[in-house]
Amino acid sequence: MATEAEILKILAEERNMRKAAERLFLSQPALSQRLQSIEKEWGAQLFIRSQKGLTATPAGELVIAYAIDMLAKKEEIFETIQSLTTKVNGTLKIACASIVGQNWLPKILKDFVTKYPEAKISLMTGWSSEIVKALYEGEAHIGIVRGQVDWKGEKIHLFRDTLYLVDQELKTIEDVLTTNRPFIQFKSDSNYYQEIQQWWQRHFASNPRRQILVDQIETCKQMALNGIGYAILPSITLNEHDGINKIALTNNEKEFGLTRDTWLIGYESSFELRQVEAFVEVVQDHARCLFDYTK
C-alpha cells in the first residue's frame, strides 16, 4: 500500500486525481478518501480541486516538501542498510600479541584498509594474557595470540614459527658450552621463556655462563644483531638481511624443531560480523604464504 508521502508526491507531480490514481494502483474514490484522511491528520487543506486539476495550497506546499524529503531520506537509509550486507563497514577491534603486531600485522592491515576503505580499525597490543583479557571484557572482537592459550571459543591456527639461536659468532648449538658471550633472554607472562628454559635443561648439564634478561623481544633481537651476545628468537622476528648466524633449535626427544604457534581467537558471535569475516580472510591469505617470499 502506498504511503502518505508517496501519495502526496505523486499528487503534486500529476496534479490530476485520475492520473495519480493510476500510478498508485488505486481507484479515484479510494485515492480521494486517502487524501481526505491525510488532510484531516494535518488539520489543513493541502490541495484545491478545480476543472484544471489539483493546485497545492501554501500548507500543501510545506507538507509536500516534507514528504519528498522524507522519501529521499528513506531511500538513503535503505541504500545504507543494503551496503551493510554487501560492504565491509563498522569498526574492527583487534587485540594482538606485540611480536605479531610489530613484525607481521602491519602488512595485513595495509591490505585490509586498501580492500575495505570504509572499515575502521581499533588496535591494542600486549602480552597474550592481556589479549585474552580484552576478549573476555569485550574490548576486542578478535585476538591474535602466541603459544598455547587456553581458549574455549573459536580458535584458528595461523602459522608456526621455528625458534633459532642467533649470534654474530656462534655457528653451532654446541658453541654455547665454550663461549663467554652472554645469553640474552626475553621474559614475559607467556610460556615462551619457560619453553626455552626447558629446552636448555634437556640439552645442557649447566646454566649459561652469563645471562642478560630483558622484557622486550625487540630489545633482545637488537642486542643480538649488534653483537652483544646470543639469543633465541622466533622466525617471525628474523629476515634474510639480518646478517647473523641462525641455528634452528631441535628437540632431540621428539625429533622436531622447537616451534611456536600463532592463533586467531574470538567468540563465535564476533566471527559473524562482516568486518571480522573480511579480516579473517585477509589474515589467512597472508598466513598461507608467510614463508613464500615470492608473494
pLDDT in tens, 64-81: 999 999 998 988 787 667
Average pLDDT over residues 250-264: 68
In this prediction, residue 89 has a pLDDT band, given cuts at 50, 70 and 90, of confident
pTM exceeds 0.85: no
Residue 14 burial (CB count, 10 A): 17
The CA-atom distances, in angstroms, between 127 and each of 153, 190, 220, 287 are: 19, 7, 16, 21
The CA distance from 71 to 58, in Å, is 20
- pLDDT score for 293: 37
Residue range 15-38: mean pLDDT, rounded: 93
Q: Give residues with Cβ within 8 angstroms of 75, minimum separation 6.
A: none
Handedness of CA 175, 176, 182, 186 (dihedral sign): positive
Write out the DSSP string of 20-33.
HHHHTT--HHHHHH
Contact 119, 111 (CB under 8 A): no
Where helices occur in the chain by DSSP H, the ranges are 4-14, 17-23, 28-42, 58-86, 98-103, 105-115, 128-136, 192-203, 217-225, 268-271, 274-288
What is the residue whose three cell numbers read 581467537?
Answer: 265
Q: How far apart are CA 87 and CA 80, in angstroms?
A: 10
